[in-house]
């Protein structure tokens, strides 16, 4: 029993630390150089992408961050007019969004307002489809499996739960290409393809 708990704890800690932690992001203004400073206090575990997005959803800046690197960037405040922005950091495991407000007197970026979203993990081994999802917002989750023509062959709805683990035996389905979609309210749909042999 102790070994099982240790393995579960290890699995959860790896899952939780695999994406970008909002606490690892420092957002501050340098009044001397009139710049916005973005930096990370820990290295990135995976290749990541940084975006600065305005309130209309326009991407104003994009940068690639390599695994093992640190974020250390400056942006001229004059290039970012007063308003609301989002700093978006994403990797293969999830996405962190830090709201940012630039005003005439400076910037506000409260780490308590940052959100962290984990992407579902979809795995097909032989004819067993497994889906794992860390549902931190405890939203209802919908899972759909469709064939290459878009016809649903499996639909599942899971009530709010902090962790979701589902396994589906697909051996009765014919060989071919399929699409798995995981839907969570207020999040973009996550879709991936798989091939049954």
Q: How do residues 163-188 score in pLDDT, each as one tens digit?
A: 899 999 999 999 999 999 999 888 88
Q: Are 181 and 146 in contact (CB under 8 A)?
A: yes
Residue 157's contacts (CB-CB under 8 Å, 6 or more residues apart) are 140, 141, 142, 143
The confidence score (pLDDT) of residue 143 equals: 96
Please say if the pLDDT value at position 5 is more than 70.
no
Please give the domain boundaries of the chain with CATH numbers for all domains. 22-116 (2.60.40.3080), 119-196 (2.60.40.3080)
Percent of residues, the chain, with pLDDT higher than 90: 65
Mean of pLDDT values over 85-109: 92
Q: What is the pLDDT of residue 186?
A: 80
Q: Are 107 and 98 in contact (CB under 8 A)?
A: no
Distance (Å) of CA 112 to CA 21, 50, 116, 181? 12, 19, 11, 30
Report the pLDDT value the prediction gives residue 38, as an integer from 0 to 100: 95
Backbone angles phi, psi at 135, to 5 degrees: -95, 75
Render pLDDT for 58-82 as a digit per residue (tens, 0 to 9). Answer: 999 999 999 999 999 999 988 888 9
Please list the alpha-helical segments (H only) found in the chain.
2-17
In the numeric block, the tokens 């091939």 are attached to 195
pLDDT of residue 11: 33
pLDDT at 17 over 90: no
**For the chain, what is the mean pLDDT?**
86
pTM: 0.73
């Amino acid at each position: 029993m102790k070994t099982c708990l240790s393995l579960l704890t290890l699995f959860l800690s790896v899952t939780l630390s695999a994406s970008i932690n909002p606490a690892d992001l420092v957002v501050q203004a340098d009044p001397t150089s009139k710049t916005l400073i973005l930096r990370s206090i820990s290295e990135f575990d995976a290749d990541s992408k940084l975006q600065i997005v305005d309130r209309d959803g326009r991407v104003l800046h994009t940068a690639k961050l390599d695994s093992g690197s640190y974020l250390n960037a400056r942006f001229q405040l004059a290039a970012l007019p007063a308003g609301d922005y989002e700093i978006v950091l994403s990797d293969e495991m999830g996405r962190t969004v830090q709201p940012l407000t630039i005003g005439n007197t400076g910037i506000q970026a409260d780490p308590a307002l940052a959100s962290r979203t984990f992407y579902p993990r979809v795995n097909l081994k032989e004819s067993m489809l497994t889906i794992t999802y860390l549902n931190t917002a405890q939203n209802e989750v919908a899972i759909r499996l469709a064939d290459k023509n878009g016809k649903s062959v499996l639909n599942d709805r899971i009530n709010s739960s902090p962790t979701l683990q589902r396994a589906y035996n697909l051996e009765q389905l014919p060989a071919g290409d399929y699409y798995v979609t995981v839907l969570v309210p207020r999040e973009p749909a996550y879709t991936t393809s798989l091939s049954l042999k």
